Amino acid sequence: MTHVAQILPAPASAQTIPDRLLLWHPRFVACAVCTRPAAGFGFRDPHTKVGPRKRRWFCSKYCQALYARHARKGLNMVDLTEEEHAAITTTLKRMGALMEEFGWEVRLADLTAPQVRALIEEAVEGFRDAMAATAQSYTSEVPL
């Protein structure tokens, strides 16, 4: 019986990895629809002919399908869509309930740090949840 020591090769540095492989999977990138951490679902604009295509990353196939649907229509994600307006309305309702707990007579400048933090968290989470729910309502197939 022989025992052979296996020596692993040195890890490749970022300089030796081809550019096409560097960003195949997102790390610390927000979803282009709901701003949750991306999980490997991507989209490259097929209409871009010149230069490198812009890549967008998503947390789920639902967010990817929603973005692809808007891209097919030629809509930019810069302007607010009707789904985003609905998500903002839903978020305002959740924030209103939180402000009811604080009291409507309290100015924003008079809120304590934990109250401001709770208000910001409610706004961000409310928008994320509403956009994720909107994305799940579309059951269209994801283009590959």
pLDDT at position 144 is 44
pLDDT at 14 over 70: no
Mean pLDDT of 53-65: 82
Q: Do residues 68 and 143 make contact, with C-beta atoms less than 8 angstroms apart?
A: yes
The enclosing H or E element of 58 equals: strand 55-58
Q: pLDDT of 81-124, one tens digit each? A: 788 888 888 888 888 888 898 888 888 888 899 999 999 999 98
Q: Integer distance in angstroms from the first to the last C-alpha of the chain?
A: 50
Average pLDDT, the chain: 76
pLDDT at 132 over 60: yes
38: left (phi over 0), alpha (psi -120 to 50) or beta: beta
pLDDT at position 76 is 57
